[in-house]
């Protein structure tokens, strides 16, 4: 249903306003139903990886939701080399809660925007890294994670 943005006109009588309110409410109810069918669109996850961990799994460690803020920390040093189970278009915003976690550059798994001679990003409290999945299907094909942006902490 498309609502007519020109109504009510300034010259309409007050008695006609009820009709417009009912049409608007019906349209809002339709939108709310459509949004509810989508399920969750965004989430916040607190993730602690273990020392030596190299892989994060979407659906286990992270949600399969489209936009996710991940507050990540480590119980020991963890050099993450892969994020599996992602679907194309998913975005993960990682906020480092300690200096124990680093994302390792590998253009086939985690494509960081940095020269090949720099092996990783992270290991600093407060750093932010945003990744988007390219070509993943959520089950049999992982695709790869492309860096959209980073926000290093500056002291």
| Whether residue 68 has a cis bond before it, omega within 30° of 0 | no
Domain that holds residue 33: 1-39
What pLDDT does residue 92 have? 98
User: 52 with 34, same domain?
Assistant: no
Residue 77 in contact with residue 51, Cβ under 8 Å? yes
Cβ neighbours for 149, distance < 8 A, ≥ 6 positions apart: 130
What pLDDT does residue 153 have? 85
What pLDDT does residue 60 have? 96
Mean pLDDT of 95-99: 97
Q: How confident is the model at residue 8 (pLDDT cuts 50, 70, 90)?
A: confident
User: 101 with 139, same domain?
Assistant: yes
What pLDDT does residue 22 have? 87
Domain count, the chain: 2
User: 136 with 102, same domain?
Assistant: yes
What pLDDT does residue 1 have? 62
User: 122 with 50, same domain?
Assistant: yes
> How are beta strands 144-151 and 110-111 bridged, if at all?
parallel
Q: What is the pLDDT of residues 42-65, one digit of tens each?
A: 899 999 999 999 999 999 999 999
What pLDDT does residue 21 have? 85
User: 78 with 141, same domain?
Assistant: yes
User: 86 with 103, same domain?
Assistant: yes
Max Cα separation, the chain?
Answer: 72
User: 69 with 33, same domain?
Assistant: no
User: 32 with 63, same domain?
Assistant: no
Q: What's the predicted TM-score (pTM) here?
A: 0.76
- Domain of 122: which CATH number? 2.60.120
User: 35 with 46, same domain?
Assistant: no
User: 26 with 83, same domain?
Assistant: no
State the CB neighbour count (10 A cutoff) for residue 144. 19
User: 20 with 88, same domain?
Assistant: no
User: 146 with 70, same domain?
Assistant: yes
Query: By mean pLDDT, which of 38-42, 43-47, 105-109 is the weakest?
Result: 38-42
């Amino acid at each position: 249903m498309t609502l007519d943005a020109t109504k009510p006109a300034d010259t309409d009588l007050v008695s006609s306003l009820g009709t417009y309110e009912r049409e608007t409410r019906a349209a809002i109810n339709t939108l709310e139903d459509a949004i509810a069918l989508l399920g969750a669109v965004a989430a916040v996850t607190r993730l602690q990886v273990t020392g030596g961990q190299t892989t994060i799994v979407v659906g286990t460690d992270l949600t399969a939701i489209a936009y996710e803020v991940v507050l990540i920390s480590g119980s020991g040093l963890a050099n993450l080399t892969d994020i599996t189970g992602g679907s194309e278009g998913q975005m993960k915003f990682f906020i480092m809660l300690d200096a124990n976690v680093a994302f390792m550059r590998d253009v086939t798994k985690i494509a960081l925007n940095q020269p090949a001679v720099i092996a990783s990003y992270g290991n600093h409290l407060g750093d932010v890294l945003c990744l988007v999945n390219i070509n993943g299907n959520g089950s049999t094909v992982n695709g790869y994670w492309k860096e959209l942006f980073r926000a290093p902490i500056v002291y």
